[in-house]
Structures are given as C-alpha cells and as structure tokens.
Amino acid sequence: MRLSDQEYNRLLLLKKVRTSEPVARIDLVGLTGLTGGTITAITADLVKRGIVIEEKVASSAPGRPRVNLRINPTGKYVIGINATGDGQAVAEIVNLRGESLGVATAALKPATRIEDLAQQFVAALEDAIAGWPVKREEIFRIGVGLPGIVDSRTGIVEQIITFEPGPCNFGEIVSGALGIPTLVDNNINLLARAEHWYGAGAHADDFTLINVDLAIGAALYRGGQLISGAHGIASEFGHTKIMPDIGRPCFCGANGCLQAYCSIHSIIEQSCERLGRQMPSHEVMNPCFDGLMAEYAAAEIDIRTVLEQASHYLGIAVANHITMQDPEAVIIIGPPVARMDELRGAFFTALEQNTFPALRRRTRLHFKPRDQGAYARGAAAMVLEHVYAAS
C-alpha cells in the first residue's frame, strides 16, 4: 500500500518543517523540491487544522514581515502502546513534534485470547491517560504495536504466537472502549518507524531493519515510506527459506525457515536439544537465553556450532536481501549478547561470499541492541505519519 502523491507531499513537507523549524515557506521549496504553489496550499490547510502554527518574525527591513512555520506542540497528542517480550504494556504520549510527554508501563496478565489482550491494553491506556497532564479530548489518535500478523489497513490481528488464532478486530476494541481512533501494526514495522523518525540516522529514507528476537522480522523503508506490501503483511523475512524441504520445522508449518535457525527461540531450542535439556516455557524465554549465553561465555557449555550456524545463515539471508533489493543500509537489532563479536566473523564471511559481487560492501550495516521503548515511539510515529499524511 503506497501513499498517493498528495499524501506523500504533505508528509514530506511536515517532516521537513519538523526537522528545520522555525522555517519559512520559501525555504521549504529548496528543502522539499515542491513548488511554491503546492507548499502554500498544503500549509494553509495545516494551519487551519491546527497542526502547523505561524510565527511572525520582527524585522526592520521594509515589506511584509517574514512568517515562520512550526509544528504545533500543544493541543493535539498521540499515544503509542506496545506489549514487550517480558509481559508489560509500555505506552508513551507524544505531541505532534514527536516529543515525549510521558511513559507508562503496566503488567499484562497471561492470556490466550487476542480479545483479552486488547481489553488489557484498554485498561493500561485508561490508567496511563489518567496520569498524564493532557486532556482526554486532546488525544488525537492511538497507535498499537503487536508481535503478530496484523493487517495495518484494517487493524485486524490474524495471529499472535501463544494466542488462539484470530481474526480479532483489535483496533475496534481499543477505539470503541476509549472513543479515540486507533491504528494497529506489526511491531517490527513500528521499530522501523522509530528508526526513521527518531534513530541516529533520523529520516534515513532507504533502509531495511532486521529484528532478531524470539522470532525474526524485517521492515523496509524505501523513498521515505514504509513498504507494507499489497496485502499489508510485508515483510515476513523470518519465513524465507534457508534450508528448504529438509530443514528444521517452523511454527508456520513449513520447513527450513530462517527463523528456525536464527531466532532466539530456535537458538534456545537447538541448544536444549544439544544439551539434553527441557525446552523452557514461552514466558521465560528471554531470561533463559541470557542464562545460556552466560554459561557459554563462562565456557560451561558448548553451543558454538548452534551460534555459528545462526550467524552463518543470517549472513546468507542478508546477502540474498541485499542482492535482491540493494538497500542503502541494513540495521540489525538484537539482544546485547556477550561474545557476539566473535560470532560476527561467521556472519560477515557468509555475507561476503553470498552477496552479488557488484553489490558487496556497498550497503551500510549497523548493529544495535534492542531498546524496548522504541516500539511505543514507533507506534506514536505511525500515528504521526497518518495524521501528517491525511488531508
């Protein structure tokens, strides 16, 4: 799903105002490449809707006073909320500039129905809103991030691991209970949005983000837009095949998926098989992984072949992606793992050997530890993109 030209122009203009404010209309011509007429028409509408404010600048020069534009920092706020891997809901409220006004966390009770999770989100949001210094009617939109298969166009959740299958109209449950329009998306898409809006290379327009977590996900920004695919599901990078037909089984029903070898879940599973241990329950996967890595670092267990194979296959998958897509940058987000540095050798060797020669060493690679707050910021950024693009 791509934005129309009009939506794209509006979004582009507002992003440039946000990063360059205070800024005059005339300067936006050079910054956006849009014509003066288009800028005048868009900004007039944005000022009318209270998204942009005008600021007259005193000048001793003759003629009309210069008028600068800024994003309105008050009166309209958006909330991003996400479920973390350790059973918490994290909500953040930001103004239209994306500046945070508050963060709230709530413990989530174990649930098996997606509807019950939605109700817990409603309760967490009610508590958070009551504690923030913002009037309820000033909350313009809510953005929800979920670790599952989500149709971002409709807010319908199809599947979340460990929950009964959907569909569940998650967006409608939240918006119906709170009376605030709600958007829902896959949380990897939200990580990419957080990167685009708030990351070190903020406003990087062309990158692929790969998230190595209990599962493996990826999201693509191209030309300043998140690419969500014709059916709103892109991209299921973790289910591309690295060992087709004969490989390890994946929860999706296929064999040999990338995440059957490289996800945290599968690394734990392969390590437990090797060590003759019981597979831990889903809720304690993250501490179990930390424990395994500590044992490995202390040379108490030998899971080097599991870790090296994971690094090797991830290198091949990233090489295939670069060969297919030629992105400007690839950002790999993962756990801050002890001795990960020594495993990078296997990753980079596989990357070098399997990338198309003309594309080798051209794509910038960044490794970043996971930041749990990034999901909620990304959910807020999703809403800002929506508010900015909408006419």
Residue 244-283 contact track with Zn ion, rule CB under 5 A, x = bound: ------x-x-x--x--------------------------
Structure tokens at 139: 């909350």
Least distance in angstroms from the C-beta of 175 to Zn ion = 32
Closer to Zn ion by Cβ: residue 20 or 255: 255
d(CA 270, CA 247): 13
d(CA 125, CA 77): 14
Q: Does 184 bind Zn ion (CB under 5 A)?
A: no
Closer to Zn ion by Cβ: residue 31 or 254: 254
Q: How many residues bind Zn ion (CB under 5 A)?
A: 5
d(CA 229, CA 210): 16
Least distance in angstroms from the C-beta of 258 to Zn ion = 8
Least distance in angstroms from the C-beta of 266 to Zn ion = 10
d(CA 196, CA 295): 36
Least distance in angstroms from the C-beta of 77 to Zn ion = 39
Closer to Zn ion by Cβ: residue 90 or 150: 150
Closer to Zn ion by Cβ: residue 16 or 239: 239
Work out the number of other CB atoms within 10 angstroms of the CB of residue 81: 26
Dmax over Cα atoms in the chain, in whole Å? Answer: 83
H or E stretch covering 59: none
H or E stretch covering 16: helix 5-20
Closer to Zn ion by Cβ: residue 318 or 383: 318
Least distance in angstroms from the C-beta of 215 to Zn ion = 9
d(CA 132, CA 101): 8
Closer to Zn ion by Cβ: residue 204 or 252: 252
Q: Does 18 bind Zn ion (CB under 5 A)?
A: no
Q: Does 10 bind Zn ion (CB under 5 A)?
A: no
Q: Does 17 bind Zn ion (CB under 5 A)?
A: no
Least distance in angstroms from the C-beta of 1 to Zn ion = 24
DSSP H helices in 24-182: 25-32, 36-48, 114-131, 170-178
Closer to Zn ion by Cβ: residue 90 or 310: 310
Least distance in angstroms from the C-beta of 128 to Zn ion = 35
Per CB under 5 A, contacts with Zn ion among 32-91 are none
The one-letter amino acid at 200: A
d(CA 238, CA 133): 41
Least distance in angstroms from the C-beta of 251 to Zn ion = 7
Least distance in angstroms from the C-beta of 350 to Zn ion = 20
DSSP E strand boundaries for the chain: 23-24, 52-57, 66-71, 77-83, 88-95, 100-107, 139-146, 148-151, 156-160, 168-169, 182-186, 207-212, 216-222, 225-227, 329-334, 364-369
Dihedral over Cα of 12, 14, 15, 16: its sign: positive
Closer to Zn ion by Cβ: residue 194 or 234: 234
Structure tokens at 69: 């534009």
Closer to Zn ion by Cβ: residue 39 or 257: 257
Helix and strand tally (H, E) in the chain?
Answer: 12, 16
The one-letter amino acid at 355: T
Give residue for tokens 């044992």: 295
Q: What is the DSSP letter of 255?
A: B
Per CB under 5 A, contacts with Zn ion among 190-249 are 239
Chain positions contacting Zn ion, by CB under 5 A: 239, 250, 252, 254, 257
